[in-house]
Chain A
């Protein structure tokens, strides 16, 4: 303390007075406007008439003071104002436990909570890094750092002129960060805020608005997901496929390529197909190809899952002119037997869209062409007709795996020519692979390459 040398004499006065235990300075000079509350919350409470430079001085005095004291007590050698960040940077591992340790070390070190606003701001900055940015308990702990009682406005003027503006703004910023990370406060937060800032504070108003809107938005998503999202990509893929399968009858099946001897990529495959899609595939003419397209992306919150579709060319439904005004011959579709009625036509199903008929979808562990090939083999169990129908891979960007899987670089380069679009002779070769155990030595990518 003795080494402290303030540059301005006015601050010296303040300092020495404070040092002597005088909390209120009353003199006919400009100082008379300064109400310095040095006991607990030193650096905020000043009169509007106060000169800015004086304020800065007082603030500097106080912060430096804090640093100095720290040096004495905590043995820290840091002298800059970035000290608060230091508390977090010092932690070796970044998790909830160390974050809380950092908060506690601050609380322990400084019973008077000096510089808590700056400390809270730096804590806010580090929350994401420590992975606690969505943890309500940690936010509560952070809000508990504000000293209780002092900031509560006692009259309407204090309310109107934002009592303790910096602290209130800091409280609002904490709530704001919670809001942007979708963390909904609870009634305990309410208690903390009431005890800290009072009911008539801007912070509490912010809380009020949050509690009005956040519950309303909490469940509003039409695509609810478990919280937290599963980490396993397989589970994610199942969720993704469940979401994009519009048919209620869709069955999600899960396979492992290890069951196939021919497969190169021993990975999981998740497929979705509804009975209706199987039926559409069965009706698909043998001489027309179906296409494997992808990869497309579906987002599950911050996670992206790539998926592939099996598509057939769109069916042409003849535009049929029908006179809806004529009621002289209403057909009883359910009760009459119409063996060869060409007039009547089923409504196109949900899978038959203008740009194509979606026959199945899948996501695989590697998104490689080989894993897709395994998918088709698995599909052949439930869709025998797939053995006859030619399957064309029209992958937009051949994945890396394709290259690594290839037996021979030359072959793979052939495979990747023709704009990454390959026709596989599934009609004979693939069916061979699946039906004949002996040909298992033949790798699927070779099939591709052979062409």
Chain B
């Protein structure tokens, strides 16, 4: 019996993806990585049980069925150690049949609304979203996308949320208004609020009756959130906090009714000394003492409301504190980390739309008796834009899939990677689309200039890309540092550990010569037609690990101060994550035979080849050090310029003598 089971299971495993319709590669089904597959199998089979249930109950039941969530080590952090979780190469399929049908229905409705009812040009010109448009969005339930159903929201999971973000991003102002409301504004209540707070605030926020805003930034505190100055003082009876201070550039600041405010509080520690820390509060506008400044006139996302908010002795009841006293910084970081992943799908959403317009133009515009589409440089641009869109889309949905399928997912680094990659891809791609349209793209008749202006903010808000790059590489180095403690100590003291040093030198000879030994067998985890790209990915993972080790050994603990090297590490890590997502998705598409799957394979090869080239370059720069890779020059040049308070080179027409 056992024998025959084994024989057949090995036979069956070679067969089709029975219901497991993702990349089914034989070695995927080895016992040690069966967990993921099992979950997905549960998802696939759940359609059977669900048939007896009706409507809303069914939806709820389906959600509750998705529990065996799996525990997996953090993917992106482990990349810094050269550990690659191969299961991620089975691109997650989160939604079952019913959920997908529901979602597609929703997408269709929202898309129709955006195409018919939203006049983005007018919103941009008049710098305000009309009341009836906002009301329409509220009626569609878009103000409570991630709020659970029991509080009157749509109860979407990360994947569904990302899908809707593709549509809502068609108008930058609306996208930002929605994001400020639910990705950050009310996220605090969702993540850290207690039951009473949730029951009190969420229902009205879900319908859009109340709009939320997130108040962190202050005149003296932008990226450095820990330096905020707004004060919350506890009253004598210890029942009320009084808020005092100014917050600036608050999205929805003028229209919001509920604010998540971060402020300094003082309390006594065990030794009865006064300590200051940051706490988070839910503040209603009707508490009084809140004034909003006039809406800022912005470069892009002009329809969204951004203004300063003053708190003047605003009384906040103690029960409105989010989390405990002193939890504020953690709450803020959690909120920001959890909201970022959807920026990838937002960017992909509007970029796909723009690419369509651009392609139409390139086909019909004739120059030198040929349509633009036949010019190689245009073809290159179109292909590169496509690869970039594909990459951010894959990254966004991979991250969303991880958030949905993992138990207590630790995806802040992945989300940051998605945010950095997508914002930069968006800016660059729109600019290239505009370039293809030439003069037309520069005109206000076409949406390109508006999208270009709108997209610029993506690199700035929700953590600037610079800060996020540091976050990615520092968190990665911190994670790696725990494991590499002894190695780095020995590497930094070579003469105390001669044997180890010599051994390490020998080990590294391959890395030094850029001939990495591949031993992870990633090619076994994707479709055979992507095997080579999988080897590139493996090379890249090994190079990242080598880079981390190099930097840690070179700088030890002060690695924190070497931002140019950290930036390179972050870039390498982002590229590795992007390659992973792209390969996993293309492999899945090809295995299950989606439309144009061969095109996806080609995209994957193109993207991976370019990414590997960038990675090779970045790691080479890390290896060569600041004197060879210009880092030193950058620092010296900059310091001269700062000393001269501006451009320091003399004008070329200047003559020293006549």
- Chain A interface (Cβ < 8 Å from any Cβ of B): 155-156, 159-160, 187-188, 190-191, 199-200, 205, 207-213, 215-220, 224, 248-249, 275, 333-334, 346
> Could you list 6 examples of A-B contacts with CB < 8 Å?
A200-B4, A205-B15, A208-B15, A215-B593, A219-B597, A333-B368
Q: Is the CB of B18 within 8 A of A155?
A: no
Q: Digit string of B1-34 for contact with A (CB within 8 Å is 1, else 0)?
A: 1011000100110011111010000000000000
- Interchain nearest-CB distance for B37 vs A (Å): 15
- Interchain nearest-CB distance for A438 vs B (Å): 40
In Å, the complex CA distance between A338 and B144 comes to 64
Q: Cβ of B363 < 8 Å from any Cβ of A?
A: yes
Residues of B within 8 A of A216 (CB): 592-593
Q: Is the CB of A248 within 8 A of B368?
A: no
In Å, the complex CA distance between A392 and B645 comes to 81
In Å, the complex CA distance between A199 and B366 comes to 60
Q: Which residue of A lies closest to B592 (CB)?
A: A215
Q: Which residue of A lies closest to B8 (CB)?
A: A200
In chain B, positions 361-376 with a C-beta closer than 8 Å to chain A are 363-364, 366, 368-369, 371, 373
Q: Which residue of A lies closest to B373 (CB)?
A: A248
Residues of A within 8 A of B650 (CB): none
Q: Is the CB of A190 within 8 A of B594?
A: no
Stretch at the interface among B43-51, B329-337, B410-418: B43-51
Q: Is the CB of A212 within 8 A of B595?
A: no
A-B contact count (CB 8 A): 67
In Å, the complex CA distance between A304 and B48 comes to 41
Q: Is the CB of A190 within 8 A of B19?
A: yes
In Å, the complex CA distance between A205 and B14 comes to 11
Q: Cβ of B507 < 8 Å from any Cβ of A?
A: no
Contacts A248-B373, A249-B371 aside, 18 further interface pairs with beta carbons under 8 A come to: A156-B4, A187-B18, A188-B47, A188-B48, A190-B18, A200-B8, A205-B15, A207-B18, A208-B18, A211-B17, A211-B18, A212-B16, A213-B16, A216-B592, A217-B593, A219-B594, A219-B595, A346-B369
**Cβ 8 A contact of B12, one of A156, A208, A224:** A208
**Taking A156-B3, A187-B44 as contacts, is the C-beta distance between A199 and B368 under 8 angstroms?**
no
In Å, the complex CA distance between A275 and B12 comes to 55
- Interchain nearest-CB distance for B110 vs A (Å): 24
Q: Is the CB of A159 within 8 A of B21?
A: no
Residues of A within 8 A of B1 (CB): 155-156
Q: Cβ of B596 < 8 Å from any Cβ of A?
A: yes
In Å, the complex CA distance between A249 and B369 comes to 13
In chain B, positions 81-130 with a C-beta closer than 8 Å to chain A are none
Residues of A within 8 A of B16 (CB): 207-213
Q: Is the CB of B15 within 8 A of A212?
A: yes
Q: Which residue of B lies closest to A205 (CB)?
A: B15
Q: Is the CB of A191 within 8 A of B593?
A: no
Residues of A within 8 A of B373 (CB): 248
**Cβ 8 A contact of A187, one of B4, B47, B368:** B47
In Å, the complex CA distance between A323 and B15 comes to 57
In Å, the complex CA distance between A127 and B441 comes to 57
In chain B, positions 230-281 with a C-beta closer than 8 Å to chain A are none
- Interchain nearest-CB distance for A261 vs B (Å): 34
**Cβ 8 A contact of B8, one of A155, A199, A224, A275:** A199
- Interchain nearest-CB distance for B593 vs A (Å): 4
> Considering only CB atoms and an 8 Å cut-off, how many residues of chain B contact the other chain?
29
- Interchain nearest-CB distance for A429 vs B (Å): 35
In Å, the complex CA distance between A213 and B1 comes to 30
In Å, the complex CA distance between A283 and B330 comes to 74
In Å, the complex CA distance between A44 and B486 comes to 72
In Å, the complex CA distance between A275 and B370 comes to 11
Q: Is the CB of B368 within 8 A of A334?
A: yes
- Interchain nearest-CB distance for B597 vs A (Å): 7
**Cβ 8 A contact of B45, one of A187, A205, A215, A334:** A187
**Cβ 8 A contact of B595, one of A208, A224, A248:** A224
In Å, the complex CA distance between A218 and B12 comes to 22
Residues of B within 8 A of A200 (CB): 4, 8
Q: Which residue of B lies closest to A215 (CB)?
A: B593
- Interchain nearest-CB distance for A199 vs B (Å): 7
- Interchain nearest-CB distance for A153 vs B (Å): 9
Closest 10 CB pairs of A and B: A212-B16, A156-B4, A211-B16, A208-B15, A219-B595, A216-B593, A215-B593, A187-B19, A248-B363, A208-B16
In chain B, positions 539-572 with a C-beta closer than 8 Å to chain A are none
Q: Is the CB of A220 within 8 A of B593?
A: yes
**Taking A216-B593, A220-B593, A224-B595 as contacts, is the C-beta distance between A159 and B4 under 8 angstroms?**
yes
In Å, the complex CA distance between A219 and B15 comes to 20
- Interchain nearest-CB distance for A301 vs B (Å): 17
Q: Is the CB of A248 within 8 A of B48?
A: no
Q: Digit string of B592-608 for contact with A (CB within 8 Å is 1, else 0)?
A: 11111100000000000
In Å, the complex CA distance between A188 and B16 comes to 15
- Interchain nearest-CB distance for B399 vs A (Å): 26
Q: Is the CB of B45 within 8 A of A218?
A: no
Q: Which residue of A lies closest to B365 (CB)?
A: A249
- Interchain nearest-CB distance for B220 vs A (Å): 55
**Taking A212-B16, A215-B21, A219-B595 as contacts, is the C-beta distance between A249 and B363 under 8 angstroms?**
yes
Residues of A within 8 A of B44 (CB): 187
In Å, the complex CA distance between A275 and B363 comes to 11
In Å, the complex CA distance between A156 and B3 comes to 8
In Å, the complex CA distance between A248 and B48 comes to 46
- Interchain nearest-CB distance for B49 vs A (Å): 11
Residues of B within 8 A of A212 (CB): 15-17
- Interchain nearest-CB distance for B122 vs A (Å): 31
Q: Which residue of B lies closest to A208 (CB)?
A: B15
Q: Which residue of A lies closest to B48 (CB)?
A: A191
In Å, the complex CA distance between A142 and B363 comes to 50
Q: Is the CB of A209 within 8 A of B15?
A: yes
Q: Which residue of B lies closest to A333 (CB)?
A: B368
- Interchain nearest-CB distance for B476 vs A (Å): 38
In Å, the complex CA distance between A215 and B20 comes to 13
In Å, the complex CA distance between A334 and B18 comes to 57
In Å, the complex CA distance between A212 and B366 comes to 45
Residues of B within 8 A of A207 (CB): 16, 18
Residues of B within 8 A of A275 (CB): 366
In Å, the complex CA distance between A221 and B22 comes to 21
Q: Is the CB of B364 within 8 A of A249?
A: yes
Q: Which residue of A lies closest to B11 (CB)?
A: A205
In Å, the complex CA distance between A346 and B366 comes to 14
Residues of A within 8 A of B596 (CB): 219
In Å, the complex CA distance between A199 and B18 comes to 11
In chain B, positions 158-182 with a C-beta closer than 8 Å to chain A are none
In Å, the complex CA distance between A117 and B634 comes to 82
Residues of A within 8 A of B368 (CB): 333-334
Residues of B within 8 A of A210 (CB): 16
- Interchain nearest-CB distance for B490 vs A (Å): 51
In Å, the complex CA distance between A215 and B592 comes to 6
In Å, the complex CA distance between A217 and B369 comes to 39
In Å, the complex CA distance between A333 and B369 comes to 11
**Cβ 8 A contact of A218, one of B366, B371, B593:** B593
In Å, the complex CA distance between A116 and B137 comes to 55
- Interchain nearest-CB distance for A162 vs B (Å): 14
Residues of B within 8 A of A217 (CB): 593
- Interchain nearest-CB distance for A183 vs B (Å): 15
In Å, the complex CA distance between A25 and B363 comes to 80
In Å, the complex CA distance between A284 and B655 comes to 65
Q: Which residue of B lies closest to A218 (CB)?
A: B593
- Interchain nearest-CB distance for B13 vs A (Å): 10
In Å, the complex CA distance between A379 and B315 comes to 78
